[in-house]
Amino acid sequence: MIIVNFKTYESAIGENAVALAKIHEVVAKETGAEIAVAVNALDLEKVATAVKIPVFAQHVDAAGFGSFTGSIPPALVKKMGAAGTLLNHSEKRLDEKLAECVTAAKAAGLKVVVCAEDDTEAEKIAAELQPDFVAVEPPELIGGEVSVTNANPEIVENSVKKVGATPLLVGAGVKNSEDVKIALKLGAKGVLLASGVTKAENPTDVLRDLASGLLDN
């Protein structure tokens, strides 16, 4: 699985988010690769309406309908067409609120991807919260030029062992098919990335390359 986090890059918000999501859909269809996108809350409904690939929220709160000013209720995200949500990204850490956010997201019927900074945190998340996926992303490598699969393959191997039956995604510095191939060989089930696609001059070519790494294993 490939999940691309659009963050709030100018190239991936507003109408650009819709256009970029459609590129993901085209590549998913032509390659057969499982590709999903994670978009900001303001773009969620229009992106989910525009494409048939899974669309994830970048975050949800443990909030319902009612007096929750400024919150993002999981049930609303689901109603807007989201298939799931990311939680606990290094740019949106939840700490003591994580467990209740996971519970709320699950109750709304969302797939839950919880991010972890290392294998120790990944083990704790998998055992205690049982999300659909754990995504290991060493924060010091996020947005960098060196993939975690090259910089620290041990953290991937250790995380695979520690999360047990929970599928593991790998993030931080992932850019190309070779990074994907290494991640899968180390036992991961896919990758989570952002700038490698959202800031690419030709995201179609990048996605095709990433998909080939996913499918060649």
Does the pLDDT value for residue 145 go beyond 70?
no
* Tens of pLDDT, residues 177-212: 988 998 899 899 999 999 999 999 999 999 999 999
pLDDT at site 175: 83
Whether 24 sits among the annotated catalytic residues: the reply is no
Does the pLDDT value for residue 146 go beyond 70?
no
Whether 89 sits among the annotated catalytic residues: the reply is yes
Q: Give me the catalytic one of 89, 91, 96, 121.
A: 89
Does the pLDDT value for residue 141 go beyond 90?
no
Exposed e or buried b per residue across 18-44, where buried means at least 16 C-beta atoms within 10 angstroms of its C-beta? bebbebbbbbbeebebbbbbbbbeebb
pLDDT at site 93: 95
- How many residues in total does the chain contain? 217
- Choose from 47-51, 167-171, 210-214 the range with maximum mean pLDDT: 47-51
pLDDT at site 83: 98
Contact 33, 214 (CB under 8 A): yes
Q: How confident is the model at residue 34 (pLDDT cuts 50, 70, 90)?
A: very high
Angle at 111 between CA 147 and CA 213, to 5 degrees: 35
Residue ranges of domains in the chain, CATH in brackets: 2-215 (3.20.20.70)
Residue position matching structure tokens 């999940």: 3
Does the pLDDT value for residue 125 go beyond 90?
yes
Q: How confident is the model at residue 142 (pLDDT cuts 50, 70, 90)?
A: low
Q: Give me the catalytic one of 59, 117, 123, 137.
A: 137
Q: How confident is the model at residue 9 (pLDDT cuts 50, 70, 90)?
A: very high
Q: How confident is the model at residue 22 (pLDDT cuts 50, 70, 90)?
A: very high
Does the pLDDT value for residue 27 go beyond 90?
yes
* Tens of pLDDT, residues 79-90: 999 999 999 999
pLDDT at site 171: 84
Q: How confident is the model at residue 217 (pLDDT cuts 50, 70, 90)?
A: low
- Between CA 113 and CA 110 the distance in angstroms is 10
Which residues have CB under 8 Å from 127's CB, separation 6+?
Answer: 164
